[in-house]
Amino acid sequence: MGLRFFRRNGNSADSHSRRNGDGAVPDVPQAPADGGKRIVLTAPLTETIDHAGYFIQMGMASLPIWMEPVLNNKYPNWRDVQRNPDGSARFMPAGARLVETSLLREFSAPDIVACYPDDLDKFIGPNTRVVAVTTHNPLGVTFAAGVYTSIFGSSKQPINSHYARLMFEKIKASPYRRNFKVIVGGSGGWQITQTNSFEDLSVDCVVEGRAESADSMALFHQAIRGEELPREVNVAHPTRREDLLVPDRRTTFGVVEMTTGCGRRCNFCVPDLNPQIDMPKEKISFIDG
């Protein structure tokens, strides 16, 4: 049923490898005129939408995919996203924007783009060397997701993990897949490592930690050189306020990070294992996108 919803909206992620109903093989997407961006940043559609308030994102993390029509009826325009004149995403999750800001310290702006999953074919080409993904709930294996989706029936796949899979399928089906590495970060990366879903999702490396880390940037340089990447990387956490970055491009819901880590020091909580650091006041700005 999930794939039927997806096809209904014209977003079939793996159409390159499937035949149409008349038996014809779909055309391979035309390569971007510029050969594609060296580094492409993206996130699942359900994590990039910037309207209908936080409720819709919470609903997508809790409702099973078969209940998607409920949200479609209540928010018929939820898939309508805004783009910049060059086709890049106007809104992206704060984590993706932080990766973008970190990369701009070491790579030129024309080499990098942040785009929506539906626009990947416009930016991935023979010149692409890295596709970096940020995701919160790629497989829907969190305790809360399992409990809430089970309330509505036997299906335990939330809507947002369904759309995350569609994004990964599209990346996997790219005719240029052998040319680039797929690096995944974000709070949902652990779901890939703990379920060993690297091959299934065509992921080369999962990063645990912040994008400002020199270790994170080293991974991108390795990927661009065509070197093999470790499957799992825990990068060093910044220890000084001066090392933290604040993105200056529009984030989903206008999120601005003001503090990282925690001071409670609970040994079972990952954020608690990092030092509590507040963003310098002069770095925090609200961008009118």
Res 24 pLDDT > 70: no
Residues 6+ apart with CB under 8 A from 10: none
Look at residue 289 in the predicted model and tell me its pLDDT. 46
Give the predicted TM-score (pTM) of the model.
0.82
Look at residue 212 in the predicted model and tell me its pLDDT. 85
Task: Measure the CA dihedral 111/114/118/120, to 10°.
Answer: 20
Token digits of residue 146: 């399992």
Residues 6+ apart with CB under 8 A from 269: 262
- Strand partners of residue 133: 42, 184
Most confident of 60-74, 114-128, 204-218: 114-128
Res 87 pLDDT > 70: yes
Q: Where are the domains of the chain?
A: 2-14+31-248
Give me the chain's average pLDDT, please.
Answer: 82
Look at residue 196 in the predicted model and tell me its pLDDT. 95
What's the Cα-to-Cα distance from 196 to each of 73, 79, 119, rounded to whole Å? 36, 30, 28
Q: What is the mean pLDDT of residues 135-159?
A: 72
Res 84 pLDDT > 60: yes
Res 250 pLDDT > 80: yes
Res 99 pLDDT > 90: yes
Res 49 pLDDT > 80: yes
